[in-house]
Structure 1
């Protein structure tokens, strides 16, 4: 497998009531689940568009067990599947990094939010390049809600994911504080966003309609073809 970098999308099979529950208040359970599947397709397409020279391989880091066939139908044929381990999100992330680096044998692992359908391939390329440089570090792609859209590591650092207030606006800063506590350098990339409620869905609709993102000064969003097609037919 050489010195390739794994890019794993943290995802759930798009089933009604299991995914995008806050968006279901706006779209209904069925349409929210279908939109979640479109998000997954589009994030995977952004990974697949990376130049081959970067040496990247995509994965779906998924839950629950038994949904492999559903995810295979959504992800590119060359993607691997890795079942999430544990219930606590920090343990899930730490376990995914550990598994992708060893025994899967990748030089580094970048874990990506499944809820950013316009995630620029250029941002992913920057993450791969930053992780590949000599020296140990954590690479973070900050999100507009105070979390991150991606996190990259080249070594197992389970302490980085401990005592993080998940699903709050303090996730990014708490992660940086944990990195400082364990002596791990931090490299921050450009800001992006994810879609998890009516407000961020409106931001996405605006972006797809050509409106500039106020926080994206040096990046252009990806085409998000599946999401664009779905929302074009949404009521």
Structure 2
């Protein structure tokens, strides 16, 4: 283990018709898949320089010979019925491996960069939780130094109340938290950066 911190990456297997489905309703499946692949590349580029261990969780099956090098990324598969269960399981696995803190990100946020993730890892050394809100009411990053399973329960995923409901639970547990800068997730065509359209 090269560090006591790990980044958990949640990705969907890049298959036609299965990624960015809300985006695909207006731009079509093929374009949506191409954009998702760009987002995966962006995510790979921003996490590679981080001096933390990197654990990639695929949505369905592990792809051995893809662009995610096994020299850099430990590969796993997500387990659980909904996003909350899947994230809880991933954090549980990482803490069971002996890591002192972990941050999770998806691959939907083109505004996310290495500096913001590094800030998250610094914050979670001092605070119980770190969270990066998105303009649509969700979050692009969540970090903690101990598993708090209840923050993944009773959340209506993919709604505009995800961040607020999560923060209510953080307060209920009396946890200290650091809020990162608010960013845009790409879920619909209006979220796309101009040069990607």
The TM-score, its normalising length taken from structure 1, stands at 0.78
Are 1:111 and 2:92 counterparts?
no
**Alignment partner, residue 23 of structure 1:** 23
Q: Note the residue ranges of structure 1 that are not aligned, 5 or more in a row.
A: 209-230
Asked whether the 8 Å contact 1:2–1:106 carries over to 2, the reply is no
The C-alpha deviation readout for 1:22-46, integer Å capped at 9, x for no partner, is 1212332122112212211211210
Asked whether the 8 Å contact 2:136–2:160 carries over to 1, the reply is yes
Q: Which consecutive segments of 4 or more residues in structure 1 shift more than 6 A?
A: none
Are 1:102 and 2:96 counterparts?
yes
Offset of 1:4 from its aligned partner? 2.5
Alignment counterpart, residue 176 of structure 1, candidates 162, 167, 170: 167
Alignment counterpart, residue 68 of structure 1, candidates 63, 67, 78: 63
Which runs of structure 2 are paired with 1:1-235 in the superposition (5 Å)?
1=1, 3-50=3-50, 55-65=51-61, 67-69=62-64, 72-76=65-69, 77-103=71-97, 105-133=98-126, 137-201=128-192, 204-205=193-194, 231=196
The C-alpha deviation readout for 1:207-227, integer Å capped at 9, x for no partner, is x5xxxxxxxxxxxxxxxxxxx
Offset of 1:92 from its aligned partner? 0.7
In the aligned structure 2, how far is the partner of 1:5 from the partner of 1:183? 23
In the aligned structure 2, how far is the partner of 1:158 from the partner of 1:116? 24
In the aligned structure 1, how far is the partner of 2:3 from the partner of 2:175? 21
In the aligned structure 2, how far is the partner of 1:90 from the partner of 1:44? 23
Asked whether the 8 Å contact 1:37–1:74 carries over to 2, the reply is no
In the aligned structure 1, how far is the partner of 2:48 from the partner of 2:103? 14
Offset of 1:3 from its aligned partner? 4.2
Query: SS of 1:122's equivalent?
Result: helix
RMSD of aligned Cα (Å): 1.7
Q: Note the residue ranges of structure 2 that are not aligned, 5 or more in a row.
A: none
Offset of 1:131 from its aligned partner? 1.0
